[in-house]
Amino acid sequence: MHPTFHPNFVQFLKEFNDINDYFECHELLEDYWKEVAPRQKVHSLAALILLSTSMYHWRRGNFSGALKTMGGSIKRMKETSHSPFFETINFHRLYQDATNAYNSIQRQEPFLGFQIDIQNKELLSRVEEIPFVKEEDRNFLIHKHMLRDRSEILEEREKQKKRREGH
């Protein structure tokens, strides 16, 4: 199976292009990245995770976070341009859109989303097969990280902190 046909990647494209849930895009790809290349920072999935993170920050008006993560995404795209993850999409257009977004973020312009152009017909078909779920409340999408239950994350951080302190 081509790596871009993985359910998480297919769902990522649906979320990015149709729903614009960039937070969910990050979550989907992070799970997939941990499966195929844990801790490998120079990876095409890392580039797309950073892209999603940047779009999330930009839409929320966090220009500093958006600029940093978009810069990282563009750098990783350059380093991994021959990745199989970029074979089924229009990589040149994605790179150009990310660069244009970076420039807009630098100028602190209002958020402007874009789509990832899927060139592989089978991949496009798989993305289109996913039913379009009614778009969530826009406010929820914009501030999703603050509105979710984070109790498990906070518990894990506390455990890690105690381990580091030798308790």
**pLDDT value at 160 more than 60:** yes
pTM tops 0.75, yes or no: yes
Residue for token digits 């950073």?
50
Amino acid letter at 90? N
Alpha-carbon gap, residue 145 to 10, rounded angstroms:
22
**Residue 29 near residue 10, CB atoms below 8 Å:** no
Percentage of the chain lying above the pLDDT 90 cut: 68
Alpha-carbon gap, residue 130 to 144, rounded angstroms:
22
Residue ranges per structural domain of the chain: 3-134
Please state which CATH number belongs to domain 3-134: 1.10.3450.10
- The pLDDT of 27-45, averaged and rounded, is 90
The 10s digit of each residue's pLDDT in 115-142 is: 999 999 999 999 999 887 655 555 554 5
**Maximum CA pair distance of the chain?**
55
Confidence class for position 112, pLDDT limits 50, 70, 90: very high
- Which tokens is 111 given? 């958020």
Confidence class for position 3, pLDDT limits 50, 70, 90: confident
Please tell me what DSSP assigns to residue 89: B
**pLDDT value at 150 more than 60:** no
The 10s digit of each residue's pLDDT in 59-94 is: 999 999 999 999 999 999 999 999 998 999 999 999
